[in-house]
Amino acid sequence: MSCHLPKTPKQKSENEYKKSINIALAGNPNVGKSVIFNQLTGLSQTIGNWPGKTVEKMEGYLDFRGYHFNIVDLPGIYSLSTYSIEEIVSREYIVSEDVDLIINVIDATNLERNLFFTFQLLELKVPMILAINQMDILHKRNMDINFEKLEEIFKLPVLPLVAIHGVGVHQLLEEAIEIVVYRHSHLHHRKSKVKISKHHSHGYSRRDHIHKKMIPESILKKKFEFPDLSTILSFGKEVEIKISEIINSIRDEQYLMNNFHYPLRFLATKLLENDEEIKKLFAHQDPSSKIIQKAEDAQNKLEEIHGEDINTVISSEIYNNINKITQQALIVKTGKQAKKLSIADSLDHITTHSIWGYVILILTIFGIYIFTFTIGDFFKGVIEDIYGIWSEGIYSLFSENSLPVKILWDGGMGGLMGAIGGVLVYVIPFFLIIEVLQDSGYLPRAAFLMDRIMHSIGVHGKTIIPMILGFGCNVPACAGCRIMETEREKKISIVLTSLIPCAATMTVVMGLVGRYLGLGWVVFLFAINFSVILIVGRILNKTMPGECTELIMEMHEYRMPNYSVIAKQTWLRTKEFVFRALPIIVFFGIALEILLIFNALEPVNLFLYPVTVFWLGLPAAAGIFLIYGILRKELTLVLLALFAENLGLTLLELFTPIQMIVFSLVTMLYIPCFATIIIIAKQTNWKYALKISIMEISIALLIGGIVNWGFIFFTSL
């Protein structure tokens, strides 16, 4: 589906209609929201953060039938509670004036679980379409859905979709126009509408299977009005009485009603559930907290009656109602299930097996590593060769020592080519393979296997993949930490991933310690590095506000990836680095070159003398080489070798064995390269990136000094 669907001539009667339609895609994780988003918006997408929040915001747009659609892909969540920042952001946005319509995406294969979120959305009284996705997988299981029954129950449009193949996505726009136009124009004499044939023989309709059907105004009006929740959902007599009492209490305080965007029933239910964000709203408007106290009294009374906490009571009532609905709407056919289902089940079993699952995980991670860095190294070599040829041409035309050449070419162009050849060539294949694993269904299973182990250091099992990728390059690895659901877990994952020794760091370690001192000392250094990662993870888990949430993921059935969607999603992720990180890297490349030209870094050695010479026991010149390592870690070894050569020495003559160990250890642990710092800042903020830098520098200096002085102490005995 193209990013801009073909327009059709506007009817004159549409001049009064709302021309801009704002749609929010809402649903559980892994139900196909992002696929629908990509199908609708194509490349017309932007990634940013929600105002005042670090949660990622996905926006896109398209033009269709004379209307401009603004579409926001909300974070995948399971409820409208406030246990995570994603839930708070989604809830606030849905009730804002920016939303005309919600498209609630539901996984047809997990109808009961998904409808829990649907009921909560209904309480917000925002116009909504139910999009039942993955109907093809449901049919493989010899099951179907009675869409007419669902529409009868919910009084809402219910559309079947196979989003990964673009089936039914087009009809969402048709239905959205009908609903929004009707609500904004209040037409009472509409003669006809385009009706989608939802009950095609395959359970869903393609865009060609449409027919016009006359619908009486009474039915049309009923369809677009908000459904009466009391006819769909009842919490039971005792709970409904308490909700009514709280609603009446809010009504009695008329000034409170004018300050809230939420419907009264939603407010009352959330107060009863002890929702902290809603309680804050009331506490701010009503310092005496009479309504809050009334809700707490009702909560205690109900918990006493039912013998369960209030959230369990209400959730149980919702699921009781959902169970009744699924019994009416879900159709189980007779006959054998398709062969593909058994293959998928077998694959699911082996990839989550207590033994073979880990074997496959190790092979998969190794495969990711090989794929990413085989492709990356190839293009890195090509780009370096091109830059070398171009540089020879520039130096032949202009003096190599020319000030503009050094600043603009060595600094600016060198920084750009270094960022492309040293970072971007790894970022693209990394995001590509991650999207393939995610879309095929393997990534949730890998996270499931590692979840228990990774919980000990405060993160989900998902973190294992970017951490392993960190051995190649910290930049795509830290960027990959965006897959974490909560801000807390993303921040911890970024810290741990940035401590993984990348390929450039391993070049220094192997080229210095491995070459001159042997692999035994290399193992010693890595043992220290991994001990630091474990200790830092444990400390962050204990000290960072919040708790490590449980890993809740929908593990959809294995399927063939949609490569068109994967390509769009890969570019969307890469685009952020291209347009945000590259310019910053070029700027600092120029700035560093200027400092080098004017020998502004030489005083750094003198300034760092107490640290490098006294505390770490290194040669005085080591300070400036560690500074160079901030740009690229391998520069430390390259420039050290050149420095020693100019002095007529070898590295073994310049450094003593203990100095090699300390220098390599500090290089492993101290601040990651500047490209990684930029990515960390983009994933979080510059303040957090600075904190990480200071923390890692402190750890590196502390451990390096302990090793140095420990050696001095033991050799003096």
- Please check whether residue 3 lies inside any domain of the structure: no
Say whether both 223 and 245 belong to one domain: no
The angle subtended at Cα 368 by Cα 367 and Cα 372, nearest 5°, is: 115
**What is residue 550's predicted lDDT score, i.e. its pLDDT?**
54
- What CATH number corresponds to the domain at position 288? 1.10.287.1770
How sure is the predictor about 230, in pLDDT bands with cuts at 50, 70 and 90?
A: low
Listed in sequence order, the residues at least 6 apart from 567 whose beta carbon sits closer than 8 Å to its beta carbon are none
Q: Are residues 315 and 345 in the same domain?
A: no
> Which one-letter DSSP state was computed for residue 203?
S
- SS (HEC) of 360-408: HHHHHHHHHHHHHHHHHHHHHHHHHHHHHHHHHHHHHHCCCCCHHHHHH
The answer on 545 and 400 residing in a single domain is yes
Q: Please return the burial class of 190, using the count of CB atoms within 10 Å of its CB with bins 0-12, 13-18 and 19+.
A: middle
Asked whether residue 314 falls in the same domain as residue 409, the answer is no
Residue 6 lies in a domain: no
Confidence of residue 26 (pLDDT cuts 50, 70, 90): very high
- pLDDT-derived band at 288 (thresholds 50, 70, 90) equals low
Residues 606-639 pLDDT 10s: 888 898 889 999 888 788 778 877 776 766 776 6
pLDDT score recorded for residue 649:
78
pLDDT tens-place string over residues 38-94: 888 876 667 665 655 556 678 888 888 888 899 999 888 888 875 667 788 888 888
Q: Mean pLDDT across the stretch 478-482?
A: 77
Angstrom distance (rounded) from CA 375 to CA 573: 18
| Domain that includes residue 283, residue range | 233-332
If asked whether residues 285 and 219 sit together in one domain, one would say no
Examine the domain organization and report whether 291 and 438 are in the same domain: no
List Cα–Cα distances, 461 to 287, 358, 537, 549, 641, in angstroms: 43, 12, 14, 11, 41
- Residue 5 belongs to some domain of the structure: no
Same domain, 242 and 216: no
Q: For the chain, give the mean pLDDT.
A: 77
Question: 154 with 200, same domain?
Answer: yes
> Looking at the structure, do residues 560 and 473 belong to the same domain, yes or no?
yes
What's the domain count of the chain? 3
Do 390 and 241 have their domain in common? no
Domain match, 180 and 35 both: yes
Q: Is residue 7 part of a domain?
A: no
Is 207 part of any domain?
Answer: yes
Other beta carbons less than 10 A from residue 152's beta carbon = 12
* End position of a domain, from candidates 272, 298, 332: 332
CATH of the domain at 75: 3.40.50.300
Boundary of a domain, candidates 311, 332, 353: 332
Q: Is the pTM of this model over 0.75?
A: no
If asked whether residues 275 and 152 sit together in one domain, one would say no
**Interval 529-588: pLDDT, tens:** 989 998 998 888 888 876 655 555 556 667 777 777 788 777 876 776 677 667 766 776
